[in-house]
Structure 1
């Protein structure tokens, strides 16, 4: 039932976007834009996706160390890329997170610590995302939202500060967690337990948050690069705000893989800056397609490892790749 609802959302949004493009721009505009794409900017978008991957792997390794799990960077990078491939077929980041949790848990024999590191990563990611939003909203957001952008920035900044406080002193927010409605209280309690288990130092927390900021900024900048590839020349700060909004919207479980949502957000926000529906859809769609390059690389690595395992049997993880304190 839930899948059917998400499919309906995706199909409905795609139908609306297609009708809007045909009505306002015509089929010819799409062909013209595709023929005039700048390949260098598309390569830049792909590179930004890999920047986000490397920042994500570095942060993951740092959080695993805080959970007393020492893993090799190469092992984690391979696992992350394969997780990106698996995640292409699952809602939000479920596949990516689940694959990484399983791989590290299986290799280390410490499934609980692996899960705790992923839980802490989610919290760190939310704080990093809030900080990026706080910085971007008053810039390009002022042109899209007016003075309301300042209130939103203040709200997000307060949320980021609360998140940092919770990570440094989880016991002080236990009461707030218990006051939440049933399912939310359970999730918040599990996250706080993971924070206590991780033994994250102040320096590690700062590095993890900065890596989260870098990763989120890189993903937001992907849509700046694809906009330039299409020929959209509006101010970079507006494109970063739109890219940031797209990244956040895709994380919401509203559709199948964000299909329709990412394009709809781009059309609605970029229309306020005078960008045509065709251009806006291409900005979002190319951002998604360039992001599949790391996923396809992960799929290739998975196929190679499975082929080798079927020929010789599963290879044990090297001692240099993992250790448990």
Structure 2
């Protein structure tokens, strides 16, 4: 992986998955993907990951045992540029490749879209086998005082700026550069401060999450300290805050009525996205997890009613968490083994 400049998650390589890459069934799966690479229908990802917002779709693939679809989803980009692929081929032919080279069939003129090898890697470099751990970055602090003092944008002004000939596909948040902060401000005012000063809340944004091939970036992560509790980070409670915007009917699709109560649809893809975030966080920290919050801002023609913002809580669901864990294991065994088998079909160790 180092020779090709491909950055796998730390700890996903194990002796078992390396051995599985040499099993006949795995090699047959890899050969099916090889054809698409040979015709430039795909290109290698430098940082192969499965984004959390794609989890629901990949769970369906796993249920159908569609190993090829999941492998391609994680490790490859579609519609790779042919000229770029030809350039990479040329680079690979001229490099020593740190102890590896393209197999003879690809050295004889047959094209294939492969990443360019690095020349700075020592010959004989081995795959590193590590221990899997969750990664959660600190993110960027949100200034709560500044958040509270902010004024909301006038939606009617945003509407005036919107070009009628090029309608915004996902609403006007692309014009409102502080859209997510306004949703956070609204929730902060309506819910967090409602505690009457019995808690202190801090927020960070853009915290990057990773566990195995699962990857995502949080809109906001809140840390809540109840009044009277020791100022110990391990005593804090954390809450994921996910923000969505729409001009359409996302509100009607995301929320549904169950037993007379309006809740987030547990089968919606955004529910699985947030459940995936909670899954990763639970692997990294012993902080107590509060129910996540999903906020939807509905923009209206003419800006009326103003600040139509809805939110609901989402609890961790054990059954969904189990599904996500099984998917993560599937990606690290079946999909990764297929990927390694594919590389074995393309490259051979120099003697």
Q: TM-score normalised by the shorter chain: which range applies?
A: under 0.3
TM-score, structure 2 as length reference: 0.24
Normalized per residue, the structure richer in strand is 2
In terms of Rg, which structure is larger? Answer: 2
Normalized per residue, the structure richer in helix is 1
TM-score, structure 1 as length reference: 0.25
